[in-house]
A and B are shown apart, each in its own frame.
Chain A
Amino acid sequence: MTMTELHALLPIIVIAGISVVLMVMTAFFRHQRLASLITYGGFIAAAVLVAGQTGSGPQQATPLLIMDEYSRFFSLVILVTSLAATMLAYDYLRRSDVFKEEYYILLSLAVLGAVVLVSSNHFAAFFIGIELMSVSLFAMVGYMVQGRTRRAVTLEASVKYMILSGVSSSFLLFGIALVYADFGVLSFSGLHSLLGLHSTSSYSQIGAAMIVVGLAFKLSWVPFHMWTPDVYEGAPVPVTAFLATVSKVSVFAIIVRFFIESGAFRLEALVQALVWIAVLSMLVGNGLALLQQNIKRLLAYSSIAHLGYLMVAFIAIAGSNLANTNLAVEATAFYLVAYIVMSLIAFGIITTLSSPERAEEAETLAHFRGLFWQKPGLATAMGLALLSLAGIPLTIGFVGKFYVFAAGVAGQLWLLVGVLIVGSALGLYYYLRLIMEMCKAPDTEPAISREETPLENRVVLSALGLVLLVIGIFPNGLITTVHAAVAVLR
């Protein structure tokens, strides 16, 4: 390994360092504040390192990882998101009756996995990243199993996630093996001249399909989505926030890279299957969310729908017209950022309102009734996030959806665009219903605590709200960044 490679890997090494330091520290000295500060510091340091390398051109570090604009962009997104998610989790953890410090170890390992995942251009790194992230998440989903109040639900969620994730990983691994059997190649770019062109058997086709199935589970595409509401509901809400954002976005980022670099878009039958998966995701996600009373489940279903919207842009990449393809990749990346911002706000609000002492988190409609009158700041942020999720103009969600829509239209994917419209119409109903609930007169006995919102949460939520509005009104900055980031693909 050369020094340039080492330099390129430095952010990953820093993140790995966090978990090592924390592990050592926790063995001798438990202190949540210190652990959290170390984590924040590590994420910030890694983010600064990544940002410092921006513009320095692609750098292959070992055959497994590539550091180019694309992976740097998503590493940065993941690190910032993780920082925000960790800060939002601090107060929730502080009030819970479990060991706190291990959470930071697991979290930094999951982030490590995510960063490795988005930086990989080789099946080995790809699999290592995805598993590192998933295994950490099993533990995080079941984190409250040590506590008294939510032991059963959290355990159930963890076990479900673990088993189903295991099933999907085995599909993924088997798929990789079949592709390898056909071509003897494991790097994405190595497949580019082979996949869909020089196959002697159906191995590679089945293999690619199995890889898609494996990833479809992680991205909760319908019909591989069934775990999503149960796990979102059972996991402690800060973990749900992390699960809904970082794990989804990193997997989506890599599937885009994989499909473009390996030439998998040439597999027309597979793309056709993806079209139907997208249609189902948009319809089923929105349909399930429609009358849902539990906010965490509602957001789970809505995230299924949003991943479906993302697929419209993703499938549009398959087109032959280069300009349209570029537009579609940009749309995907832009929408991923938008999705992170609005989801993180929504889950952040639930985190802020929830108290781990109770068996039930702030996840029912009753918790949100009259929130505008009790906590106007939080309710405004929640309202913004919901409007953005619904795709109302002046929010980042609108720009994102418009982008996706434009990509779909440019690619002439009329079926998908039609379903996108129907899905958005359904979505309006349940997002606005929640806003209406927040505007109602409060119950005589408020279901939420009247405590002050912790400073960390306030800072993070206001920053996210600001981003949501600013990019919603002046999207050009992010568009330029995204444009530069995705230019390296192909």
Chain B
Amino acid sequence: MLDWLWLVPGLPFLGFLILFAGQGKMPKRWTTLVGVGSVGLAALVTLLIAVEFYGTPEAALTYRQTLWTWMEAGSLKPGFSLYLDGLALSMLFVITGVGFLIHLYASGYMYEDEDFPRFFTYTNLFVAAMVMLVLADNLVLLFLGWEGVGLCSYLLIGFWYRDPENGRCARKAFIVTRIGDTAFAIGLFLLFRELGTLDIQDAMSAATATWPRDSGTATLIAVLLLGGAVGKSAQLPLQTWLPDAMAGPTPVSALIHAATMVTAGVYLIARTHVLFQLSTDAMQLVALVGVLTLLMSGFTALTQTDLKRILAYSTISQIGYMFLALGVGAWSSAIFHLMTHAFFKALLFLTAGSIILSVHHQQDIFKMGGLRKALPVPFATFLVGCLGLTALPPTSGFFSKEQILNAVWSSPTGGQLIWAGAVLGAFITAIYTFRMFFIVFFGEQQTEAHEHKGFKFHVPLIVLAVLAAVGGFFHLPLTSALPHAGHDHVPLGVEVTAIALPMVGVLLAYLLFYRQIPALRQLFETGPLKSLAAFFYSGWAMDWLYDRLLVKPFVALARWNSKDLVDQLPAVVSRGAALFHRLLSLSQNGQLRYYVATMALASLVVMAVAVYTG
């Protein structure tokens, strides 16, 4: 059964090829069949592989499949080789399983769109690339998948390309992630130069053999890889693209910008954890990036009014938790949180999609209100998603977040201050989550709503809701792939605080946005808190800062250079050549006597050279 591993990326890619060849002229029924079916079959194959995988003893849980050698140049021989271990399998669950549910949902959600086939063409390519990224046994192939998902992300954010604003958002996402990718690529070059291999397992064992702990080279490479990871996973300082990426269709936001692609950075660091373990500084940096990002974007989510943007900032914040987990060495907790987050965030996005569709593409939560009665199924599933996001027991999010918080407390790269930040983040998460929940579903109904019913809408929501509720009980086969963090024993008070604070947050949200206590409202709508809220609302003015710091100077430089200063040098050459031509042309005057004289003179020179230097 493991021999079928290649089918997992192969089937979605085949789907992509069929849809691509169909040129959008296939009947919608077939398009659905190919687009959803290919991912569904891939999920089925994953399941079958998992069954066999779980049957083997844990220590031997790796499987390699070399399809063909991609290219060969000296010692660089990257192949199309797949490598399956517990980590890759966990990721495959998320990608194909959640991916399939989202595809199913999208076949309903996107059905009326005129570019329905194009949508599935892109998403199938995306799934193929994402699976490739996860299964790659060498970093070159991983980079191929990495860039492939980046391309699909670009294509899908700009899916509704007729609005230039969407094109701008797509470009922003592409360019900002490219900055990270450049760092990643440099990291790869450096790794290859130092170790002579890009095979992940070889490189990892070579790294421990070559570099002592805290070696400068290891730190540098780890930081460069972290650069790629923060770009892809929208972490500080490259997080600005993700909120804008919400311009894409909502299933895309669920698939790419919540469940799978944005977690690729987490996967990358987990995959190369040996390298990070070598460097305390790099680990510390990862932890800091995580905690700062989760706080910043948490505060921003608190002030947003657009349903999808709230979820986007929440995604950034939750990935911040994953980075934090990586930074404190709780590798399996990070992947566990990745999975539970995929469940509840995909659920929230898909539910949000249903809501937005029901209220005629209204995304402002203050213009919704009181949708509880009109949309019973979304109400129920959204509640489950919110509970998961808030990490209230016994939802899936509770288990994963608790593991992370405990690990932070006791880790050398964590500590009490970072723990406090993470718990504060959890508290804020609770507030913004239930703020969103209460405003959307309670209070005055601002707009009429028509629920989109049907198999394609409800099944994915309900399945995801069940997963988000009970996903915490899953056992991921990570023990052999990632070093075990061990059960961290923390003081009881610490644990209680971590569990209690989100509940306080929910209560606060209840008072503020359900009961709407005037005194509290007053506090937020006047004075310094209001301007602070405006600051948070702008995403801590990061866009403004980058605009001033990078975009404007670059545009100015481009404008200044629009006269092609560099071209002046070649222009000198061409003008020189033209002058040379004109000078020589003077010699061709057509006068026979002049020609003869030249010949005679030249002959004298040749003869003189022959005699006097000979």
Nearest to B581 among chain A residues (CB) is: A290
Q: Which of A164, A209, A277 is most buried by chain B, counting CB atoms within 10 A of its CB?
A: A209
Measured CB to CB, the closest approach of chain B to A431, in angstroms, equals: 14
Query: Contact between B588 and A288 (Cβ–Cβ < 8 Å)?
Result: yes
Query: Contact between B598 and A226 (Cβ–Cβ < 8 Å)?
Result: yes
Query: Contact between B592 and A210 (Cβ–Cβ < 8 Å)?
Result: no
How many Å lie between the Cα of A230 and that of B596 in the bound state? Answer: 14
If A226-B588, A291-B581 touch, whether A206 touches B602 (CB-CB below 8 Å) is no
Query: Contact between B609 and A273 (Cβ–Cβ < 8 Å)?
Result: yes
Q: Is A167 an interface residue (CB 8 A)?
A: yes
Interface residues of A in 191-247 (CB under 8 A from B): 202, 205-206, 208-210, 212-213, 217, 223-224, 226-227, 229-230
Query: Contact between A223 and B602 (Cβ–Cβ < 8 Å)?
Result: yes
Interface residues of B in 575-589 (CB under 8 A from A): 577-578, 580-582, 584-585, 587-588
How many Å lie between the Cα of A267 and that of B607 in the bound state? Answer: 12
Query: Contact between B599 and A168 (Cβ–Cβ < 8 Å)?
Result: yes
Query: Contact between B590 and A224 (Cβ–Cβ < 8 Å)?
Result: no
Q: Is A284 an interface residue (CB 8 A)?
A: yes
Q: Is B446 an interface residue (CB 8 A)?
A: no
Query: Contact between A160 and B614 (Cβ–Cβ < 8 Å)?
Result: no
Q: What number of A residues sit within 8 Å (CB to CB) of B? A: 36
How many Å lie between the Cα of A171 and that of B600 in the bound state? Answer: 10
Query: Contact between A287 and B584 (Cβ–Cβ < 8 Å)?
Result: yes
B599 touches which one: A206, A208, A217 (CB < 8 A)?
Answer: A217
Neighbouring B residues of A212 by C-beta, 8 Å: 606
Annotate B590-614 by CB proximity to A: 1 below 8 A, 0 otherwise.
1010111011101101110111111
Neighbouring B residues of A429 by C-beta, 8 Å: 577
How many Å lie between the Cα of A171 and that of B581 in the bound state? Answer: 30
Number of A-B pairs, beta carbon distance below 8 Å: 92
Nearest to A222 among chain B residues (CB) is: B602
Measured CB to CB, the closest approach of chain A to B426, in angstroms, equals: 64
A206 touches which one: B580, B581, B590, B607 (CB < 8 A)?
Answer: B607
How many Å lie between the Cα of A426 and that of B574 in the bound state? Answer: 9
Query: Contact between A273 and B595 (Cβ–Cβ < 8 Å)?
Result: no
B595 touches which one: A160, A210, A267, A426 (CB < 8 A)?
Answer: A160
Measured CB to CB, the closest approach of chain A to B418, in angstroms, equals: 61
How many Å lie between the Cα of A57 and that of B420 in the bound state? Answer: 98
How many Å lie between the Cα of A426 and that of B592 in the bound state? Answer: 28
If A209-B606, A272-B613, A291-B578 touch, whether A167 touches B596 (CB-CB below 8 Å) is yes
How many Å lie between the Cα of A212 and that of B387 in the bound state? Answer: 97
Nearest to A202 among chain B residues (CB) is: B611
Neighbouring A residues of B598 by C-beta, 8 Å: 223, 226
How many Å lie between the Cα of A337 and that of B545 in the bound state? Answer: 66
If A167-B596, A224-B599, A287-B577 touch, whether A205 touches B584 (CB-CB below 8 Å) is no
Query: Contact between A227 and B610 (Cβ–Cβ < 8 Å)?
Result: no
If A160-B592, A269-B613, A269-B614 touch, whether A284 touches B607 (CB-CB below 8 Å) is no
Nearest to A221 among chain B residues (CB) is: B602
How many Å lie between the Cα of A272 and that of B582 in the bound state? Answer: 28
Query: Contact between A205 and B611 (Cβ–Cβ < 8 Å)?
Result: yes
Neighbouring A residues of B599 by C-beta, 8 Å: 164, 167-168, 213, 217, 223-224, 226
Annotate B340-366 by CB proximity to A: 1 below 8 A, 0 otherwise.
000000000000000000000000000
How many Å lie between the Cα of A224 and that of B582 in the bound state? Answer: 19
A213 touches which one: B577, B587, B603 (CB < 8 A)?
Answer: B603
Neighbouring A residues of B614 by C-beta, 8 Å: 202, 205, 267-270
Query: Contact between B596 and A164 (Cβ–Cβ < 8 Å)?
Result: yes
Query: Contact between A206 and B578 (Cβ–Cβ < 8 Å)?
Result: no
Q: Which of B585, B599, B605 is most buried by chain A, counting CB atoms within 10 A of its CB?
A: B599
If A290-B580, A291-B578 touch, whether A224 touches B602 (CB-CB below 8 Å) is yes
B611 touches which one: A167, A206, A223, A290 (CB < 8 A)?
Answer: A206
Query: Contact between A164 and B588 (Cβ–Cβ < 8 Å)?
Result: no
Measured CB to CB, the closest approach of chain B to A148, in angstroms, equals: 23
Query: Contact between B595 and A226 (Cβ–Cβ < 8 Å)?
Result: yes
Q: Which of B578, B594, B596 is most buried by chain A, counting CB atoms within 10 A of its CB?
A: B596
How many Å lie between the Cα of A206 and that of B592 in the bound state? Answer: 26
How many Å lie between the Cα of A284 and that of B581 in the bound state? Answer: 8
Query: Contact between B610 and A226 (Cβ–Cβ < 8 Å)?
Result: no
How many Å lie between the Cα of A273 and that of B501 in the bound state? Answer: 93
If A160-B592, A167-B599 touch, whether A287 touches B606 (CB-CB below 8 Å) is no
Nearest to A267 among chain B residues (CB) is: B614
Q: Which of A213, A226, A227 is most buried by chain B, counting CB atoms within 10 A of its CB?
A: A226
Q: Is A163 an interface residue (CB 8 A)?
A: yes
Annotate A426-438 by CB proximity to B: 1 below 8 A, 0 otherwise.
1001000000000
Neighbouring A residues of B606 by C-beta, 8 Å: 209, 212-213, 270, 273, 277
Measured CB to CB, the closest approach of chain B to A298, in angstroms, equals: 11
Neighbouring A residues of B610 by C-beta, 8 Å: 205-206, 208-209, 267, 269-270, 273
B609 touches which one: A159, A272, A290, A291 (CB < 8 A)?
Answer: A272
Query: Contact between A290 and B578 (Cβ–Cβ < 8 Å)?
Result: yes
Measured CB to CB, the closest approach of chain A to B476, in angstroms, equals: 55
Measured CB to CB, the closest approach of chain A to B296, in angstroms, equals: 55
Query: Contact between B603 and A171 (Cβ–Cβ < 8 Å)?
Result: yes
B584 touches which one: A163, A208, A284 (CB < 8 A)?
Answer: A284
Nearest to A212 among chain B residues (CB) is: B606
Neighbouring A residues of B580 by C-beta, 8 Å: 287, 290
Measured CB to CB, the closest approach of chain A to B110, in angstroms, equals: 45
How many Å lie between the Cα of A160 and that of B595 in the bound state? Answer: 9
Nearest to A175 among chain B residues (CB) is: B607
How many Å lie between the Cα of A163 and that of B610 in the bound state? Answer: 26
Neighbouring B residues of A168 by C-beta, 8 Å: 599
Query: Contact between A426 and B577 (Cβ–Cβ < 8 Å)?
Result: yes
Neighbouring A residues of B587 by C-beta, 8 Å: 226
How many Å lie between the Cα of A362 and that of B582 in the bound state? Answer: 24
Query: Contact between B607 and A209 (Cβ–Cβ < 8 Å)?
Result: yes
How many Å lie between the Cα of A290 and that of B594 in the bound state? Answer: 23
Measured CB to CB, the closest approach of chain B to A133, in angstroms, equals: 20
How many Å lie between the Cα of A230 and that of B588 in the bound state? Answer: 9
Neighbouring B residues of A160 by C-beta, 8 Å: 592, 595
Measured CB to CB, the closest approach of chain B to A428, in angstroms, equals: 12
Measured CB to CB, the closest approach of chain B to A95, in angstroms, equals: 28
Neighbouring B residues of A227 by C-beta, 8 Å: 595
Neighbouring B residues of A229 by C-beta, 8 Å: 588
Neighbouring B residues of A171 by C-beta, 8 Å: 603
Neighbouring A residues of B582 by C-beta, 8 Å: 291
Neighbouring B residues of A272 by C-beta, 8 Å: 609, 613
Neighbouring B residues of A217 by C-beta, 8 Å: 599
Measured CB to CB, the closest approach of chain B to A449, in angstroms, equals: 29
Neighbouring A residues of B588 by C-beta, 8 Å: 226, 229-230, 288
Measured CB to CB, the closest approach of chain B to A292, in angstroms, equals: 8
How many Å lie between the Cα of A217 and that of B605 in the bound state? Answer: 15
Neighbouring B residues of A290 by C-beta, 8 Å: 577-578, 580-581
Neighbouring B residues of A287 by C-beta, 8 Å: 577, 580-581, 584
How many Å lie between the Cα of A229 and that of B595 in the bound state? Answer: 12
How many Å lie between the Cα of A267 and that of B577 in the bound state? Answer: 35
How many Å lie between the Cα of A229 and that of B577 in the bound state? Answer: 20
Nearest to A280 among chain B residues (CB) is: B602
Query: Contact between B577 and A269 (Cβ–Cβ < 8 Å)?
Result: no
How many Å lie between the Cα of A208 and that of B603 in the bound state? Answer: 12
Annotate A270-286 by CB proximity to B: 1 below 8 A, 0 otherwise.
10110001000000100
A288 touches which one: B584, B607, B609, B612 (CB < 8 A)?
Answer: B584
Nearest to B611 among chain A residues (CB) is: A202
Which 3 pairs of residues, A with B, have the shortest CB-CB distance? A269-B614, A209-B610, A290-B581
Q: With A167-B600, A213-B606 given, name 11 new contacts (CB 8 A).
A: A171-B603, A202-B614, A209-B603, A213-B599, A213-B602, A227-B595, A269-B611, A269-B613, A287-B577, A287-B584, A291-B581
Interface pairs (15), CB distance under 8 Å: A159-B592, A160-B595, A163-B592, A163-B596, A167-B596, A205-B611, A209-B606, A209-B609, A226-B588, A229-B588, A267-B614, A269-B610, A288-B581, A288-B585, A291-B578
Chain B residues with a Cβ under 8 A of chain A: 577-578, 580-582, 584-585, 587-588, 590, 592, 594-596, 598-600, 602-603, 605-607, 609-614
